[in-house]
Amino acid sequence: MMKKNSVFVPALFMVFALIAAVSFSSAILGNKGSEPDEMATNKDDPPEQASGIAHAPPSLDDVPDGPLGKAILRGYELTNNTSEVLRAEASTVEDGEQRVNQLSCTSCHAGAGMDENSSSMVGVSAVYPMYIPRSGEIVTLEERINGCMVRSMDGEMFAEDDEDLDAMVAYLTYISEGIPVGADLPWRHRNTLDDLPTPSVDDGEALYNQSCIACHAGDGSGTGSNTGPALWGDGSFNDGAGIARMSKMAGYIQNNMPVGAENTLTDQEASDLAAFILSRDRPEWEHHDTDWPNGDGPSDIMTKERREQVQDGTIDWDEVLGK
């Protein structure tokens, strides 16, 4: 933990000071101001204590009878076994492969979005619609789901009137029960590691072969969407996905991998692993040019051009990492 705290504590302290200053001034100005217990204190504090908002999704055993309950359970299936369900129901094998890659939402949002540490989706129905800089516009929950469908799932969007999309929203609304509208969810956006050390792809490869291969396979194709999902290759996410950024991949790996020994990798190891994984071939996103229309895009997206630079030894990591 020391290794992480040394980086996180100063940054967190600044964030804390800023939050304190903002809520103090808004209190003076008579704005609605935050409750004192709403202020984030330390990453290691239990979030419930820090925010007063509990991460406590209801059990699927308590889903109501009737059409709504059916939709919630269908939404759970679609979230947890996305590719199995959608590919099995497609009219041809080719259509199924076009529709979705080999991942499930659970591949990245563990426990069908109910695992607090792994990009939890608890509360999303209370915070969308919201402004997303990557889109440069207000995005609804339906549109955000479709964003992961075309990027992380390297597939096709659900049509606006598709009942499966309604089912996913019904499920995400169910697991968000009790979360107030517009709440500041302490478990959001935790899987980001900024100020990454300059990576070594070779060290990343060696560590991968030692610690990751058992579940994710030597060629990165994985052992199953919920046992060890595809990390690169045709079955994996495309390079327009959030996790195709160095900061997000390294943060996700450090907080969640290897399963059973989470939070043991140093910043250097997480950076090495992220660089190795993101330098392998994967599907390309066709619309990089229209992302971040306001010019505030990040520098650490590992595009095809960058993958080739790693392979031919010309990559400038300082530029990628914004150093």
Of residues 63, 110, 167, 302, which one binds ligand HEC by CB under 6 A? 110
Render 43-105 in DSSP notation, one character per residue. TTS-HHHHHS----PPPGGGPPSHHHHHHHHHHHHHHHSHHHHHHHHSSSHHHHHHH--S--G
Rank residues 79 and 268 by Cβ distance to ligand HEC and give the closer one: 79
- The answer to whether 108 contacts ligand HEC (rule: CB under 6 A) is yes
Q: 244: how many CB neighbours lie within 10 A of its CB? A: 24
Instruction: Find the part of the chain contacting ligand HEC (CB under 6 A) among 6-14, 40-48, 251-259, 313-321.
Output: 251-259
Q: How far is the CB of 49 from ligand HEC (least distance, A)?
A: 21
Rank residues 27 and 203 by Cβ distance to ligand HEC and give the closer one: 203
Count of residues touching ligand HEC (by CB under 6 A): 47
Alpha-carbon Rg for the chain, nearest whole angstrom, is 20
114, two tokens: 């109910």
Q: How far is the CB of 308 from ligand HEC (least distance, A)?
A: 21
Render 210-257 in DSSP notation, one character per residue. HHTHHHH-TTS--SBTTTB---SSTTS--TTSGGGBHHHHHHHHHHH-
Q: How far is the CB of 148 from ligand HEC (least distance, A)?
A: 3
- The answer to whether 230 contacts ligand HEC (rule: CB under 6 A) is yes
183, two tokens: 């709440």
Q: 224: how many CB neighbours lie within 10 A of its CB? A: 13
Within positions 157 to 216, which residues make up the interface with ligand HEC, using CB under 6 A?
168, 188-189, 191, 211-212, 214-216
Q: Establish whether the linkage from the previous residue to 258 is cis, with ω within 30° of 0.
A: yes
Q: Where along the sequence are the contacts to ligand HEC (CB under 6 A)?
A: 79, 82, 103, 105, 107-110, 118-119, 121, 124, 144-145, 148-149, 152-153, 168, 188-189, 191, 211-212, 214-216, 226-231, 236-237, 241-243, 248, 252-253, 256-260, 273
